[in-house]
Amino acid sequence: MKRLIILLFALLPLLAQARENDHAQWNSAITAFEAADRAHAPAPESILFIGSSSIEHWKSLAADFPEVKVINRGFGGSVISDSTFFADRIVAPYHARAIVMYAGDNDLQEGNSPEQVRDDFAAFVRKARAVDPGVPIAFVAIKPSMARAVLLPQIRQANALVRAYAATQKDVTYLDVFTPMLKDGAPQPDLFGEDGLHMNRKGYLLWIGIIKPWVDGILH
């Protein structure tokens, strides 16, 4: 037993380094964001959209929200804690008027629990608000996709936990895209591209109809 305890303590730095390396895989993407910022400084008072591939693939984001300046900081394959880890580089510099996050399905796909999804989002909120106290933050519900239909029970639970957490926080909002993306309890195929995971234009239009009223509320 004593040897086992010693071994576990010896492994702790290696486990921490492994997690650090997980984040490090995104260094090139974050460096590219910083280069873009130097070339064209984002407008002050912008709305920051951050998270995984559903944000990264949203190429029409600026046109879809013409009434505000937007910043797209999505990097595909990322989990919530990646955005938190790099917040000093892709959140703090912008002093955004508000933040919209979409992430979580990669977290569940990688084996994180619904409780961990909630806790990681709470950690992101704390990190963002350490720089900009009270900044409004919206969590776009984890979407139901055909490619990850096996995760629907975990997605439902994670969304419920995030929704309950958001209800305890001032100006933290849960935006329910999950429910309208279902039909008869299953993901609607016509909202997705060929891979069954990433949305097509119809899927994004559904999201816009839910996110835009929240953004308009921030503006007014």
Residue 215 CA from chain centroid, whole number: 16
Round to whole Å and give the CA distance between 196 and 213: 27
Tokens (6 digits) for 115: 């409780």
What is the three-class DSSP state of 134?
A: coil
Q: What is the pTM of this model?
A: 0.90
149-164 pLDDT, tens digit per residue, is 999 999 999 999 999 9
Q: What is the pLDDT of residues 65-114, one digit of tens each?
A: 999 999 999 998 999 999 999 999 999 999 999 999 999 999 999 999 99
